Amino acid sequence: MTEQFIFIKKVDLNNNCPICYNNDGLHLTCSQKVVENNFYKSVTSEIKYDMACDNCKSIIYPVNWTDDIERVFEYHKKAFNPRNPSMHLKKASWLAIISGVIIAVCIVSVLVYSQL
């Protein structure tokens, strides 16, 4: 089973970086978790937000956020529209379901005809 985060949206911010104090290069990246195995592929409701600065090449953790960055983050978090959580069954799961139904029908028909 693989779990990965897929890129959804990147937003450039005009706030000062709390590390290098430059107001160009700060960006917020939004990603959504996808779980995949042999039977299904599922888009979950789990969302990851990452903030980084291109100038000083550092990740900005929430501990370092200023009040202005916090307000801008909350604004973009509300404006962000993630993909709807969904589940897609793959061929292997459909084969397992159909095989199970066929086996159940065979067993029931054998039991019914053996009582006659």
What's the pLDDT tens digit per position in 45-83? Answer: 999 999 999 888 889 998 888 899 999 999 998 888 888
The answer to whether 77 touches 51, Cβ cutoff 8 Å, is: no
Would residue 20 count as lying in a domain? Answer: yes
pLDDT above 90 as % of the chain: 56
Model pLDDT, residue 23: 83
The answer to whether 73 touches 47, Cβ cutoff 8 Å, is: no
Would residue 114 count as lying in a domain? Answer: no
Model pLDDT, residue 65: 87
Q: What DSSP character marks residue 14?
A: -
Q: Is the pLDDT of residue 36 over 70?
A: yes
Q: Is the pLDDT of residue 33 over 90?
A: yes
The answer to whether 88 touches 34, Cβ cutoff 8 Å, is: no
What's the pLDDT tens digit per position in 87-96? Answer: 999 999 999 9
18/11 Cα distance (integer angstroms):
17
The helix/strand/coil state of 65 is coil
Full residue range of the structural domain in which residue 62 is found: 2-89
Model pLDDT, residue 116: 65
Q: What are the start-end ranges of the E strands in the chain?
A: 2-12, 26-36, 40-53, 58-59, 86-89
The per-type count for the chain, helices as H runs and strands as E runs, is 2, 5
> If pLDDT is split at 50, 70 and 90, which confidence band does 18 have?
confident
Would residue 99 count as lying in a domain? Answer: no
Would residue 65 count as lying in a domain? Answer: yes
> pTM of the predicted model, to two decimals?
0.74
Q: Please count the structural domains in the chain.
A: 1
Would residue 104 count as lying in a domain? Answer: no
Would residue 108 count as lying in a domain? Answer: no
Would residue 111 count as lying in a domain? Answer: no
Would residue 83 count as lying in a domain? Answer: yes
